[in-house]
Structure 1
Amino acid sequence: MLQAACYGVLGDRTPDVSRYLRTHALPPEPDEAANWGARVRQSVYRLWLLVLRKDGWADLDAVLAEIVGLREAQKSGEAQFLETSDTPRSDAWQLMASYHLSKAAELLATYSAQGSVAGGFNIREQLQAQFDRSQIACERGELIGLHATVRLLSETAERMVANSIWSVTRGASARIARFVESMAARTRDKPVFEMLPPQRIALRDQGLMNSGARSVVLSLPTSSGKTFIAQFRILQALNQFEAERGWVAYIAPTRALVNQVCAKLRRDFSPLGIVVERVSPALDIDGVEAELLADKDPRTAFRVLVGTPEKIDLLLRGGWEAKIGRPLTLVVVDEAHNLSNKGRGLRLELMLATINRECRNSQFLLMTPFIENRGEVARWLSPDSFADMTVEFNWRSNDRAIVIAQPSKAERAGDYEISLQTIHTSKSTIKIDHLVPLCSGRELGLTWSQVRPSLSNVAAVTASCLNRRGPVIVVAGKVKDTWGLARTMAKDPKLAEKLEQRPGSKDMSNIDFVADFVAEEFGRDFELIGLLKKRVGLHHTGLSDDTRVLMEWLMELGELDTMVATTTIAQGLNFPVTAVVMASHQYPYGVDMPPEDFWNLAGRAGRADQSGTGVVALAATTDDRVALLSDYVGRNVSHLNSTLIDMVRSALAAGSQLELHTLYYMKEWSAFLQYLAHSYRQIDDHAAFASQIEQVLRGSFGFQKLRREDQTVANRLVAAVTDYAAIIRNQPLSLVDTTGFSWESVSRALAGARAAGIDSNSWDASTLFTANDRTLQNAFGVLLQIPELKAELAEVTGGGRGNGDLLARIVKDWVNGASLAEMANEHFRGPNDSPTDAMSKACRLVYGKMTSTASWGLSAIQSLTIRDGLDRMTEEERRTFRNLPSRIYYGVNSDMAIDLRLMGVPRNAAQPLSDHLSRQNVGTGIKSMRAALEGLSDADWHTAVGAAGPTYQKAWKILEGLA
């Protein structure tokens, strides 16, 4: 066991070593009745296994305690042993060698815990002295076997010191030193004593922690701990601009990741006094966020801001860096391969270009496992100060095999067999050339005729067989398919027996809590409740955001055996699963998942803290599909390309002229036109802009590449931008930045608002969401004509051209507290829809379409019609005005409830809790509300929310990362 662990460390397989030692019982402490020589040998063996395992402070404390006990026992045991020994000389030298090995273990345990030994930092020299003396003793005693062990432990100790969090960060700033101390502190549930090899290589060997490069692309395998690496870069940037109190923008692609990252950064940075805040994905800056961003108090002002690319882009184009009054010093982009995403990539690219041009102190850290042309991307943002950092050796946090699961008919009628065929493995040593039988018979009670034609049933059976090894994610293409898969697994006739034989705790308290939450959110009859009781969960857009977070929480705790999800789960969430089973490799409407999304999803299996080989199984029912899937998996992620290149070429292919003002109806072109309008506004001179067009375009990654690949097409784009500049000349382009619309859409919205009679007097918070007020109906009638919004808004009301009156009624019900069940029955249930279908549709349209798009649209109409009205408002009136769109986004109808929603309180609890706090005369504002919320007792929650109070209190703590 000791040799295996040592070779694992030397092979940079430290996660495997820790997992191996955690899952195998260590030798017990030696029997006091044994002779002294045997006791010492067994003690040294055990001490080193404890040092290698380092399962929290308990192991390190055990090392020191056992060494103290060994020294005490030495007083009586050693002399007697040597006096009665038949080979006293050899035994004496063996004891000497073992004593030095025990001392080395003590030194290493002490250093791992506190970064020094007896006030000294020369750990390598101290260890070398002990190993040298041990080797000398072995040589003099002619102890060949022990000599080899000493040399092995010496090399292992050297690698452990190299990986130590203390060694990697030695010489860094005082702030980083305090961060390291807090990460290794006894108060942490999972203290960090050492880096993963990719973290060590990036931070120390490649110098990221002390790098002066402005632009860094960090390309590491999935589960390499990129967020932890980013934390050191963040601390470096904050330290670099401490006098100016600079701030960092951390950009994550989804709301779930924004919440996840914010919770982690808050937890890790709070001991350092670094304030971390997040902004909602809603495309407006409400009163709460305006207060948060404008905070000037050094004790409470944020230093790290987490948000989606679209929100950070809106914030910066709206001039908020100047309003914040402190410089943006670092932009961290998580999942940076999204730069090539056809839907959102261009806006992210142009936002980075804008920051690069306008924010003097900005630096960039782009993180992804997938960019091959890393150097090219890094050079784009800073040609004279960039770095491409990657792990060149083939490191993986765990072994992973990608297989195809295919059924075949068995001899007995109705029976079948599922076999696995490996098509990709992380190591050649785990590749199997022949088919591997997985299970046979009638798993899940299904027959051959039911399994043969159904990819969903093949996936369900495969998952059922694989989850005997641990939790499994099953991926379907559509929300409706996930429910069918979950039902199939829950109907397993042997499920009760399997649950009884399930390893680990049988406690259902966490499951019961989430089931109670789901009942409060969706009603006591909602189908998910019964599935949860069978340890089957779901994760898709047909559930509320809060419910999905709680599903993730259950998976992280190992409470669920199976989670059935749609492909949206691919973006960067970390679940401790042993396998991912895919019924579909396509998004809805038959579009293949891009290679980067597939490999991101594959990375959910076989991560650093999981045992065994991670399995990614793709379901197939025919040999043709096996061939198709083999070809699909064989596709590698190619170079990252800007979508701008394809946009320009497609536009030219569709017509001989490139007339930008005619392309505004396409969202990707709208983003480009907004970039041009913002740049024009910043230069603020037509002649100067005309002369600098190429410079403005070169700020984008796409134009730089287009210019190298096709100068003629690049010149045509420059000419088109020149023509467009003449069109937007003398227009109020500030409205482009405040609305997130192209100028063409702004112009259309202005005309529509005037025709509808919407003006600065239309925004009365006391009447806007009442049944008799027509403002919302009129506003949505205008917004349904705006290309950036109309598809999503129209879908909420059933598609087609959309229905402004119906949309307004839906929004008003939502803001005024209608439950999801009421919303589903009233507005979204079709004649053939089951209750589950209606609820899924309601969640998908309300959370996925309405809340974000309708709030964005309302904010835009406000910006277009208020004019100088804000200047005549009091601070409180201004706050209420800005909060109106957030009432739609959060589904509540008061400013105080919005504060609570921003702080993670679930919607159903936010309004009653705000009513309770207002009765306690708690002031509005983020500071007073946060203090009041954190000070609420269990009884307060019960008084405010009723019997569901404890459920919502626990949910809030989990959603905010406090539990």
Structure 2
Amino acid sequence: LYNWAKATETLARYMLQGEPGDPFGMLDKHFEAGIKAAAASGDAQHEVVLRWLHATARIMVTNSLWWATRTVNSRTSDFVRSLTHREHQAMFELLPPQRAALLEQGLLDQAKTAIVVDMPTSGGKTLLAQFRILQALNQFQSKSGWVVYLTPTRALSAQITRRLRTDFEPIGLRVEQLTAAVEVDAFEEELLAQRDEPFDILVATPEKLSLVIRNRKVDRPLVLVVMDEAHNLEYEGRGLRIELLLATVKRDCPQANFLLLMPYVEGSESVARWLAQDVDAGNAISLGTVPWKPNERIIGLYRAVADDSARGGWRLDFETLTTTAKAMPLRGTHRVGGVKPIDVPKSQVLTGGVQKGLGLQTAAIGAVMSKRGTSVAVANSIRTVWKMAGEAARSLPEMENVPSDIRLVQDFLRTEISADFRLVGMLDKGVGVHHAGLSDDVRALMEWLAETGSLRMLCATSTIAQGINFPVSSVFLSSRYMPQGTRSVEIVPREFWNLAGRAGRIGHDSVGVVGLAEGTDRDALIAFVSQSTGALVSRLVVLLDELAAQGSLAELSDVLWKDQWEDFRCYIAHLWTEKKNLDAVLADSDQLLRQTYGYTSMRNDPQQRQKADALLDATQRYVRKLADMPEGIAELADSTGFSPEGVQAAMGGFGHLESRLTVSDWAPESLFGSGGRMADLFGVMLRVPQLSQNLMELGGRGADRTRISEITNDWVNGKGLEAIAKEYFRRENDDEAGTGALTDACRAIYRTIVNSGTWGISALSRVAGIDFDALSDADKRRINALPAMIYHGVSSEDAVLMRMNFAPRSAAEALGKLYRDVASEDERRYSVEQARRFLRQLGTDEWDRAKPEGAPLSGAGYKRVWEILSGDVS
């Protein structure tokens, strides 16, 4: 027993503290002595137990964090120590694929400059990224190197920032997040240029990093680019933009290494070779090399079936299509729930044997399966999401005790949006909603409620697949199609499996259930589920393939002016800006194009070289046109993110104004005031192709610039979402709570104004010809802060700092005034880090003073919400 106790003590000390450095000698000594004593005394049972524990102890040591990272560096040791000692969700062991990546597949091999990690959802990619980040920062510590972590969405950016701050701040690393706006505001400029307390890790979207790199906003070396959800490289919307960003980083940041994280990608070696400095410096790590799987799941189809046991009765059947090896053997068709799982007539889900109302069927099966844990019901439109959530909430029983976390979020919604907001009542039944018609704060709180297990069911659009990490027991899709612009496209297999991976994740339910509404195309759905994911294909290659199929490859120079090639034209403009010499750019154009994945792939394939030649020829022709443009156009395109054609359109728009804008017109109190020139600026934006489509959707068929400017001014001047919805988005057939109007208002603000409006204001301030050199530092900062005021919906610089640090909008102005009173006129108060320290030390009394009069959310509630949104939560 003594030896057993000493062996256990040794194992515990090593798992918690990493001591002694080599525990195997001590473990072997005590277990072997104990086994010998048990055998000598004839205690066979004790001997067998000790033999099993000896083997178990050795496995625990080799799987532990300490063993896997024992030879890396001191920063990594500090990180492991903080993981094993934190109060909540302490970590002691690696998952099998994490261990394989670290110890067997060279994740931390410094000779590898580009690594692609192919692991499905919940395989543990983020922790691997953290180890690689620590290695890069340690390797370039003497040069003050920095790391960027790229995420595709604002919601995922906030989530990753919270996680990195929680894990890295205890070991002295500074993590900062840039907004998703396609511009760099005054406070971000200060943050990026700071030298006394520089950031170590930056979290940003690809579009934001593109501006930072092209305009050289950071004068320290970028040493590692981590890209989450990197399979977006092949997507139509932004795939080309991401590819060209990586090409720009390769060219402009020679010390940068790459770590791409993606799920379900075959043949990722080619991507690693493209990014690597030489052919042997790329490494592809795939989960397929280990037998372990992150979750067990059952995948099938569900459908409505008539049930005559009740009048107008119907029920749901679930037919299993596939199961993983260790999931329960659930073959065949099975009944789900009782008759009328939600209270809607049979005619809404089944007519004459034909399936209909797939959103209602999805709501029904999600409600039934919520008994075994949080279920996610996915639809392809916001309207359907609201309908699903409403029917599910109507049918689910009352919660015996509504969790305090839900009460907190309800008070937040009443304060920030409306006392009658429909989601408030749904949360009483444990039903949440997640879609683009909600603010980032609301979506983050929905994710938090799912993480804490407070939600029974979450109704969402397919964007939830982009890397959101919270536990669910089941996922149900009403359709395999998703909207893309004005059309619907089939979800690519990779995105479906990424979404399916949310169910039954490691550490949550052991078996996840994934279902698709059968509808009227059963055979097509079965074929869809059986599709393989395949290799990544460059958007450049896809665009050229489409032209070749149309027989238009020779006319590529004429096609290059179309919208889908806008990102490519911006890339060429950046190359032109770097050299500003026609002969030099023409001579290097082939080498410059080889920085891209698509061109490299085509050049290396004899059957594709004709397309590569066509792209090279079109590029050289476009360079000649750039050379003929007025001086400064390409440079402005590079600094604003507009295409050269967009810059010319903006200049033309300014030329058509009745009077020229002066510096005083750009002052916040003037621009956002009743007689300001905001409408003129939106009129210019409507001429720029990269902005006009989104703005015209908000303004209506008539592209009403006045309406857009009025919404923007009201938003910046503090008007609430409910008031904006009633004034500008009222519908005739809306429900009593005005859900449709509120949804339209949120989409208009958070999708259009926050993106296109901020980008437009920032770019136009440069195109307008303002002589920034003649302005005082205070005036420069105020003009550069305009986009941030629009982005955050506040009208002062101090309030912007509060919002950048996740303070709720309804309290931001009052908190900004408190901050200004404390910091006085100290110019250092415009530091994001200093503002965060101020918020951190605020007590409940200060939050009470900052909250609006009569707000349902208390001061303590505001403080708690801020802690959750900022990741400063215990």
Which bracket does the TM-score occupy, shorter chain normalised? Answer: over 0.9
**Which residue pairs with 2:579 in the alignment?**
683
Q: Shift of the alpha carbon at 1:758?
A: 4.2
| Residues 857-883 of structure 1: per-residue CA shift (max 9 Å, x gap) | 11111111135x111122221111111
Counterpart of 2:14 (choices 108, 111, 129) is: 111
2:718 equivalent to 1:812: no
Q: CA deviation at 1:850?
A: 1.6
Check the 8 A contact 2:63/2:99 in 1, yes or no: yes
Number of aligned residue pairs: 843
Following TM superposition, by how much is the alpha carbon of 1:590 offset from its aligned partner in structure 2, in angstroms? 3.0
How far apart, CA to CA, are the structure 2 residues paired with 1:282 and 1:673? Answer: 21
Paired residue type of 2:540: L
- Structure 1 unaligned segments of length 5 or more: list them: 1-97, 501-505
Cα distance per residue 1:893-915 (max 9 Å; x no partner)? 11111111111112111112213
The answer to whether the Cα contact below 8 Å between 1:665 and 1:787 also exists between their aligned partners in 2 is: no
Cα 1:353–1:538 shift into 2, 3 Å: same
Match of 1:54 in 2: none
Aligned-partner SS, 1:850: helix
Q: Of 251, 261, 279, which residue of structure 1 is paired with 2:150?
A: 251
What is residue 643 of structure 1 aligned with on the other side? 539
Q: Cα gap change, 1:336/1:913 in structure 2, threshold over 3 Å: closer, same or farther?
A: same
1:938 aligned residue: 844
Partner Cα separation in structure 2 for residue 651 and residue 169 of structure 1: 50
Query: How has the CA–CA distance of structure 1 residues 429 and 890 changed in structure 2, closer, same or farther, with 3 Å as cutoff?
Result: closer
Higher mean alpha-carbon deviation, 909-918 vs 236-245, is at 909-918
Q: Compute the TM-score of the two structures, normalised by the length of structure 2.
A: 0.93
Q: Secondary structure at the match of 1:208?
A: coil
Is 1:159 aligned with 2:73? no
The Cα shift of 1:562 comes to 0.8
Letter in 2 for 1:886: A
Evaluate the alpha carbon distance shift between residue 616 and residue 606 of structure 1 in structure 2; reply closer, same or farther with a 3 A threshold. same
Counterpart AA for 1:631: A
Tell me by how many angstroms 1:651 deviates.
Answer: 4.0
**Equivalent-residue separation in structure 1 for 2:321 and 2:235 (angstroms):** 27
Q: Paired residue for 1:832?
A: 733
CA distance in 1, matches of 2:48, 2:161: 48
Higher relative contact order (CA 8 A, sep 6+): 2
Percent identity between the two aligned chains:
36
1:338 partner SS: helix
Please state how far the C-alpha of 1:944 moved relative to its aligned partner: 2.1
How many angstroms apart in 1 are the aligned matches of 2:561 and 2:192? 31
Number of the residue aligned with 1:673: 569
Matches of residues 322-337 of structure 1 in structure 2 within 5 Å?
Answer: 324-337=218-231
Q: Distance in 2 between matches of 1:551 and 1:226?
A: 23
Matched, 1:925 2:830: yes
Q: Check the 8 A contact 2:553/2:614 in 1, yes or no.
A: no
Shift in Å at residue 215 of structure 1? 0.5
- Asked if the contact 2:402–2:428 (Cα under 8 Å) also holds between the matched residues in 1, the reply is no
> Where does residue 871 of structure 1 map in the other structure?
773
* Corresponding residue SS for 2:317: strand
Q: Does 1:402 align with 2:402?
A: no
- Residue 888 of structure 1 aligns with an amino acid whose one-letter code is I
The 10-residue stretch of structure 1 (652-661 or 940-949) with the greater mean CA deviation from structure 2: 652-661
Shift of 1:517: 0.5
In 2, the alpha carbon distance for the partners of 1:718 and 1:582 equals 43
Shift of 1:411: 4.4
Residue 749 (1) aligns with residue 650 (2): yes
Normalising to structure 1: TM-score of the pair? 0.85
- Per-residue deviation, 1:656: 5.7
* AA aligned opposite 2:836: R
The 1-side partners of 2:327 and 2:219 are apart by: 57
**Change in 2 beyond 3 A, CA 1:429/1:912:** closer
| 1:791 CA drift (Å) | 0.8
Is 1:562 matched with 2:468?
A: no
1:276 maps to a residue whose letter is: V
Residues of 2 paired with 1:232 and 1:106: CA distance?
Answer: 28
CA contact (8 A) 1:664 1:742 kept: no
Deviation for aligned residue 1:578: 0.6
Kept in 2, the 8 Å contact 1:336–1:368? The answer is: yes
User: SS where residue 177 of structure 1 aligns?
Assistant: helix
Alignment CA distance shift 1:880-1:160 (3 Å): same
Worse-matched range after superposition: 544-553 or 754-763: 754-763
Contact 2:120 2:498 in 1 (8 A): no
- Check the 8 A contact 1:658/1:717 in 2, yes or no: no
Q: Could you tell me how far 1:194 is from its partner in structure 2?
A: 1.2
Higher Rg of the two aligned structures: 1
Q: Which has the higher mean CA deviation after the structures are superposed, 217-226 or 758-767?
A: 758-767
Listed as ranges, the matches of 1:17-28 within 5 Å are none
For 1:513, which of 408, 411, 419 is the aligned residue? Answer: 408
Matched, 1:348 2:247: no
| Counterpart code for 2:749 | V
Written as runs of structure 1 = structure 2, the 5 A alignment for 1:334-483 is 334-382=228-276, 383-384=278-279, 385-391=281-287, 392-413=289-310, 414-427=312-325, 430-452=328-350, 453-483=356-386
Say if 2:139 is the partner of 1:234.
no
Whole-Å separation in 2 of the counterparts to 1:742 and 1:917: 40
1:957 aligned onto 2:867: yes
Partner-residue secondary structure (3-state), 2:378: strand
Q: Is the 8 A contact 2:296 2:326 kept in 1?
A: no
* CA–CA separation in structure 1 for the residues paired with 2:36 and 2:344: 68
- Which deviations, in whole Å up to 9, do the C-alpha atoms of 1:505-552 show, x marking residues without a partner? x35321111101100122111111111111111111122211111111
Shift of 1:892: 0.9
Q: Does 1:723 align with 2:621?
A: yes
- 1:861 and 2:861 aligned: no
- Kept after mapping to 1: 8 A contact 2:231/2:262: yes
Q: Where does residue 537 of structure 1 map in the other structure?
A: 432
Within 5 Å, which residues of 2 pair with 1:840-855? Answer: 840-855=743-758
Give SS of 1:650's match: helix
- Per-residue CA shift, 1:642-691, capped at 9, x if unaligned? 1011222334537464354653340x311001111111221332111111
How big is the shift at 1:832?
2.7
| Aligned counterpart, 1:606 | 504
The answer for the alignment partner of 1:528 in structure 2 is 423
Deviation at 1:360, TM superposition (A): 1.8
The amino acid across from 1:703 in the alignment is: Y
Q: Distance in 1 between matches of 2:14 and 2:369?
A: 41
Of 443, 468, 472, the residue aligned with 1:577 is 472
> Structure 1 pair 928/661, CA: closer, same or farther in 2 (3 Å)?
farther
Q: Give the structure 2 partner of residue 664 of structure 1.
A: 561
Equivalent in 196, 200, 210 of residue 303 of structure 1: 200
Structure 2 Cα separation of the partners of residues 449 and 831 of structure 1: 26
The superposition leaves residues 190-222 of structure 1 with CA deviations (integer Å, 9 ceiling, x where unpaired) of 221111111111112223124420000011221
For the 8 Å contact 1:330–1:365, the answer to whether it is kept is yes
SS at structure 2 position matched to 1:777: helix
SS at match of 2:93: coil
Whole-angstrom distance in 1 between the partners of 2:165 and 2:467: 19
Give the alignment of 1:175-254 within 5 angstroms: 175-185=75-85, 187-254=86-153
* Aligned 8 A contact 2:556 2:615 in 1: no
Q: Is the 8 A contact 1:165 1:195 kept in 2?
A: yes
- For residues 458 and 521 of structure 2, what CA distance do their matches in structure 1 show? 25
How far 1:962 sits from its partner (Å)?
A: 1.1
Distance (whole Å) between structure 1 residues aligned to residue 559 and residue 365 of structure 2: 51
Relative to structure 1, the CA distance from residue 470 to residue 368 in structure 2 (aligned partners, 3 Å threshold; closer, same or farther) is same
How far apart in 1 are the matches of 2:619 and 2:755?
31
CA contact (8 A) 1:415 1:440 kept: no
Other-structure match for 1:121 = 21
SS in 2 for 1:444: coil
CA-atom RMSD, angstroms? 1.9
Secondary structure, aligned partner of 1:749: helix
The one-letter code sitting in structure 2 at the alignment partner of 1:258 is S
